[in-house]
Amino acid sequence: MRVDATAESAPADDQWVEVTGTWVTGTGVGTDGDEEPALAAAEVRSVPEPKRQYE
């Protein structure tokens, strides 16, 4: 998922993060996957890698 975080610096590659924000209206709509959903980040913080990851 795309996260728009203009006030935050980008985390390091492969860094797990927790994001709090607001869904960007009008993104992620449609059934054919053309539109990528987006979140406008209010807070981004690094977190430890979880014991049980998902893919």
Q: Give the pLDDT score at 25.
A: 81
Is 30 a residue whose pLDDT tops 70?
A: no
Q: Give the pLDDT score at 7.
A: 61
What whole-number distance in Å separates Cα of residue 31 and Cα of residue 50? 31
Which residue's structure tokens are 């449609």?
A: 30
Q: How confident is the model at residue 47 (pLDDT cuts 50, 70, 90)?
A: very high
Give domain status of residue 42, yes or no: yes
Give domain status of residue 55, yes or no: no
Give domain status of residue 28, yes or no: yes
**What is the domain range of residue 18?**
2-46
pTM surpassing 0.75?
no
Q: What is the mean pLDDT of the chain?
A: 79
Tokens representing 24? 């960007």
What whole-number distance in Å separates Cα of residue 26 and Cα of residue 4? 14
What whole-number distance in Å separates Cα of residue 49 and Cα of residue 9? 19
What is the count of structural domains for the chain? 1
Give domain status of residue 53, yes or no: no
